[in-house]
Structure 1
Amino acid sequence: MFRPLRFALAIGAALALTACGGHKKVRPEADLAASKITTIGVNSYLWRATLDTLSFMPLLQTDSNGGVVVTDWYVNPQVPTERMKVTVSILDQDLRADALRVAALREVNQNGQWVSAPVAASTVQKLEDIILTRARDLRRASITG
């Protein structure tokens, strides 16, 4: 279901080093439904959603305690002159938009050499939105299932 969306994102997106973040909000009481604390150090819905969303890319590093996923360079077979690399950081145990930070790099092949290229900020935002939507779907499924 998400593979075509991810694939379209990989094809049409221009990726560069960017990151979106937010301020942590102090909340008097935790939303236990949004917090899924397990043996990993971060929100398990965001963790699973990140792995699902980036499953088409080779993974270079994963750290479930620190909440970091780093992909290796991915070359889309339909656009062999571009490659991308993504880093996702999960910053909290709560399922919140500001608990997720995505950074991306994009390179283009010019005369046999990979050269850095800009990434549209909207591309990183779309990737964050896909991960957050998937995490919410996983949470909803666990509550109703």
Structure 2
Amino acid sequence: MKKQGSVFGDGGLGIFGGDEKKQESGSGIGVNSFLWRATLDTLSFMPLNSADPFGGVIITDWYSPAETPNERFKMTGYILGTALRSDAIKVAIFRQVRAGGNEWADAVVDPKTVTAMEDSILTRARQLRIDSANNQ
């Protein structure tokens, strides 16, 4: 009896993981899972607006710290690859200050704040990778 082929090729369509070779060819999620989880963990103090694990984008909603109610922040985290490296994470921080009443004006964000947030995410991602290796 002749083996019939599949519309999706010999291995079928693997959308939930499985064969490493298939994942390398692009059928899996295209971002580093440790960076993804670390970004969610690090930004968890802010309300989440949207998260796209396939595109690697996490967007928060506006957040005002209790200590400074006249300013608010919004962050976007971009996971740019599958490797756990410093160039695979980018964070954009937006800051506004109250201009009176319910009006807000854009304000400058210190570049050191962005770097500190990216470093915090990388540190958390490394912790998650170590924890994962220890649990196997």
Superposed pair shares fold, TM > 0.5: yes
Unaligned runs of 5+ in 1: 1-37
Match of 2:134 among 121, 131, 144: 144
Match of 1:63 among 52, 66, 69: 52
TM-score by length of 1: 0.72
Letter in 2 for 1:64: P
For residue 106 of structure 1, give the secondary structure of its aligned residue in structure 2: strand
In the aligned structure 2, how far is the partner of 1:63 from the partner of 1:39?
Answer: 14
Between Structure 1 and Structure 2, how many residues are aligned?
109
Instruction: Determine the structure 2 residue equivalent to 1:54.
Output: 43
TM-score by length of 2: 0.77
Q: Could you say what the CA RMSD is over the residues aligned between the two structures, in angstroms?
A: 1.6
Structure 1 runs (4+) deviating above 2 angstroms are 38-41
Instruction: Determine the structure 2 residue equivalent to 1:89.
Output: 78
Unaligned runs of 5+ in 2: 1-26
Match of 1:131 among 96, 121, 135: 121
In the aligned structure 2, how far is the partner of 1:44 from the partner of 1:122?
Answer: 25
Q: Which has the larger radius of gyration?
A: 2
Structure 1 residues 38-49: aligned runs within 5 Å: 40-49=29-38
Residues 1:101 and 2:101 are matched in the alignment: no
Q: Deviations over 1:46-87 (max 9, x none)?
A: 000000000010111100000000001011122100000000
Match of 1:77 among 66, 84, 103: 66
